[in-house]
Chains A and B, each alone.
Chain A
């Protein structure tokens, strides 16, 4: 069966995945959001507004940079980096929060909430909330507020309230539970900005659409630089928004291989990883059916990764669909390998990548040397690593 890029269907399904598994209280809010988004999509002014802020505020288009030293060191395929790390706030997350905040404006919702893991989405949400003068609360696992203290400070500077979540595993999944609880309680005046291609319909579709600017630019830029499409696209996958943003505009280009890199943590044969697609099974969490890390009784397991942004036991439902359709391959690299990627890119290119992104770098360090010199690899350099310097120095 051929891959269908015109998904989800009207109920939010990507094949068997996705959908809208939420309590009845949220259904009217999701319907309202879906209608507002569909209307906005048809309005050329909405896209114009997004383009304005992406260009003048975020700094798009971001460069597609030929990593010459990295290419030479690895001795195989030509490596390009799609520089999402130079976006305002330091990661791709703002592509989505600009879109959703403009939608909140249209819907006249004056309160914004969000969940965050590494804090990148939280910072991107706090930023647009300041920009559009919204009251903002960000839910963050208590464990993550410690690991990513700098981002907590940044959010507070931007005028956002950061609410440390102490339930469950005290990480991203629990932050998302708490944000959903807030939304269900304050649904009439609150807009929930989900940061990944996860959650109930229409979020996976909407976030994909906002992030697809990454892949659209990349396609144009590589055609200009090389006159042809790349052979391989590589991106890290937690919930999977940067990977979806890069891959989606290439889905019908079957000759372009796509590889999503999950976090193998301490190893996929241990209990401490976030390799949802690689070793998980199908279930329902946070409003959609997708691959999950769960036990035999359907309880969701805690995930682990050195990268807080990958520390999530689910994955966007469209990734599950792409996996089952064979449109994208998924693999996983360990904490240790990611740290090698972190160090390697810093030293060869003078670019300190986020630990999340370092997973993609590490995978390319394995793959590129086996490829021929006329092949082209593009890595989504989804974020910069300043936020991770404490984590890394603590290990040394």
Chain B
């Protein structure tokens, strides 16, 4: 059982959903990202997604776009994110997923990336703009290194897409809660619970819900039908607000994580 599977199994047995937290690595700096990850874990985060900043984040709303710009302005590269993962492994066994756009992985070299990420202690990879049709080569290298390739599904996905993703996915399936970009929106879209059920049956994998999840109330609601609650922009906004005021930043992140984590309970 790999770290991701183990987390889902433990959470499920405890009547909880897993809390997955997204951060753009390098915002406000790689060092602070490391501190935030440890703070997240201390306050109940189950899985960490480290965003690799990209110049053209087409699927992201303004919050994560700006985080990406700040991280790039700091000179953050995909190499730095791999090194950060390695450093984190000295302190924690929390599952780490690297989350990004395809071009930086492609430019790094897919085979080399898979080897280096594995060696750094990374558990899974999610590439926003890499649907199953284009993922063959990358998946081969990730499989060779026992790394999960995590795929997205959306409310617009047809039965055929769900089948295709179910056949290719590893780790868990990330169900986008809205048709749109990342960032919080009021109100969740319709029938997510039946879609979640359908995807779970077809894939046999846990399903997490993300994009626009930002409150404990939403977390509680999602926990009733899904296996993971994925929160991103809400953390990034706390980082944006506090910047390099490290202590206040960590305190706020900790409190917020705690409030989410204690809501990730199946009632």
Contacts and interface: CB of A to CB of B under 8 A. Distances in A.
Interface of A: 11, 19-25, 27-29, 31, 167-168, 173-174, 177, 180-181, 184-188, 281, 283-287, 292, 294, 296-301
Interface of B: 54-62, 65, 69, 72, 77-79, 101-108, 128-131, 133-134, 151-154, 156-158, 161, 165, 176, 179-181
B103 A298 contact: yes
B116 to A, nearest CB: 14
B58 A286 contact: yes
Contacts of B151: 24
B102 A27 contact: no
Given A24-B131, A24-B165, A297 B56 contact: no
Contacts of A21: 102, 129-131, 134
Nearest to A27: B131
B82 to A, nearest CB: 12
A173 B133 CA distance: 25
Contact of A185 (B129, B152, B180): B180
A51 B59 CA distance: 37
Given A23-B129, A298-B106, A286 B77 contact: no
Which of A11, A23, A300 has the most B CB atoms < 10 Å from its CB?
A23
A79 to B, nearest CB: 39
A285 B54 CA distance: 11
Contacts of B56: 168, 173-174, 177, 285-286, 300
Contacts of A22: 58, 129, 131
Contacts of B72: 299
A167 B180 CA distance: 18
Contacts of B152: 23-25
Contacts of B129: 21-23, 284, 287
B161 A24 contact: yes
Nearest to B127: A21
21 contacts: A19-B133, A19-B134, A21-B102, A21-B131, A21-B134, A23-B131, A24-B176, A25-B179, A28-B157, A28-B161, A29-B156, A180-B58, A184-B181, A281-B107, A286-B56, A292-B103, A297-B108, A298-B54, A298-B78, A299-B72, A299-B103
A20 B156 contact: no
B150 to A, nearest CB: 11
A29 B156 CA distance: 8
Contact of A294 (B103, B128, B134): B103
B59 A23 contact: yes
Given A25-B156, A299-B72, A177 B57 contact: yes
Contacts of A167: 62, 65, 69
Given A24-B153, A185-B181, A299-B72, A283 B107 contact: yes
A292 B78 CA distance: 18
B79 A297 contact: yes
B61 A181 contact: yes
Contacts of B131: 20-24, 27
B103 A28 contact: no
